[in-house]
Amino acid sequence: MNEKTYVLYRRIKAFGNSLCFYACRIFPIKKNRVVVCSFEGRSGFNDNPKYIVKELHEQHPELEIIWLVNKTGKKFPDYVIEKSNSLLSRAYYLTTAKVWIDNYRKPYGTVKRKGQYYMNTTHGMIGFKCIGLWRGDGLSEMAYRVIKNDSDMIDDMLIDSEWCAEMCPDGMIYYGNYLRTGDPRVDILHGDKSFYREKFRKEHNLAPDTKIVLFAPTFREGNKAGKRSVFENQWTLDFERLLKNFEKKFGGNWVLCLRLHPQLAEAAGEYKDERLGNRLIDATKVEDLYEIMAAVDACVSDYSTTAIDTSLMHVPVFLYADDIESYLRDRGGMIWNISADTDAVVTNKKEMTPNLDVVLPFSISKDNDEFERKIMAFDEKEYLQKLEDFEKAVELVFDGKASKRAVERIEEYLKRP
């Protein structure tokens, strides 16, 4: 079907979905019920919602916490109740909950009722990619409708910087209230991380002094007849060469940890490389990326916020972007210059951001030869200075207390009639 027909189909379907929500209003709101979802129900106990829920349960163990998932069987703590993310289940539990927590967008046709509170945590705060209205013609009508429907229901959106306060209104198509709490999921990256470092190495039978580099590429997406699809890009990064270069530059024994985007996790099989054997760990199915990040010594990514989040630990971060030209074309540009050492990687909408002069402090490579040169040229002192300048420029909030601040806000609404 063409896009116009597809939009009409989705609008009719959304109307039918909304009737389920209205029908469920025969049930009262349970003041102690909190309903959570992460990555559209594709994943389990992870990302920002996980860390808010952990803190919320610690402060209020009497709360009933429901987590919506597309496929049951995920691992949750005993205090979290797993429920299906099917339409009828979702309509019932959301309609009867006092609090909603989500890091994505609610399905088109979702309806919130008076007296409910919706906190959206987003799943990528400071990032590379054009999103929302910044995408220009790359934003389909259907995507706009889904985003707008969700944004109109949000009471508070969490952000981690003044940069987000400037960029998110048009990026998220949300002009409501922003809470400068910081990013809850990175709380565990602040301070002592020895517990997670030891845990990861024991789980994978690694020597305590083994060094780990995380490779976490973002997902790619396309649009056909207004319908969004997500797919995996086959990277050209030579893992064996990467590890040899890291050992030569930084010393020690290195292994590589692969982590695909959560939207690809369900369909992804286990990735193996015969040349590396047990020096390659595929952690795509692991629910919580941030426990992995807390254990690593370096990160390689392309356009994923994982690169920025990992840099908060002040470990080396490199960008490997072998499809930069096509990605820029498909996404409608980047939010800003994503590297100081190239003139090619810039946004094509310079008027859109007041922070264009702020440059992310990572080198970027398009092929393995260039990447080897960038690794060998890495200067830790210069890199740390760039990180410090960047964090000051965006006015970053990162102190390990984001989850506590989010819960304090939720507590305000739990007390209301």
Distance CA 125, CA 95 (A): 28
Interval 294-314: pLDDT, tens: 999 999 998 888 999 999 999
Q: For the residues 97-117, what does the mean pLDDT come to?
A: 97
Q: Is 175 exposed, middle or buried (0-12, 13-18, 19+ CB in 10 A)?
A: exposed
Task: State whether the Cα torsion 235-240-245-247 is positive or negative.
Answer: positive
In eight-state DSSP terms, residue 305 is: H
| Strand order across the 317-320 sheet | 280-282, 254-258, 211-215, 298-301, 317-320, 363-365
**Least confident segment among 40-44, 54-58, 65-69, 314-318:** 40-44
| CB hemisphere CA count around 268 (13 angstroms) | 23
Map tokens 């919506």 to a residue. Answer: 68
Strand bridging mode 280-282 / 363-365: unpaired
Averaged confidence pLDDT in the chain: 88
At 257 the three-state DSSP class reads: strand
How many helices (H) does the chain have, and how many strands (E)?
14, 15
| Rounded Cα distance, 323 and 100, in Å | 37
- The pLDDT of 384-399, averaged and rounded, is 94
Integer Cα distance of 200 and 185 in angstroms: 18
Q: Is the pLDDT of residue 49 over 50?
A: yes
Q: Are residues 337 and 319 in contact, defined by beta-carbon separation less than 8 angstroms?
A: no
Contact assessment for residue 181 and residue 140, using Cβ atoms and an 8 Å cutoff: no
Give the pLDDT band of residue 124 (cuts 50, 70, 90).
confident
Long-range contacts (CB closer than 8 Å, 24 or more residues apart) made by 48-51: 48/103, 48/121, 48/122, 48/123, 48/158, 48/183, 48/184, 48/185, 49/101, 49/102, 49/103, 49/121, 50/185, 50/288, 51/184, 51/185, 51/187, 51/188, 51/402, 51/403
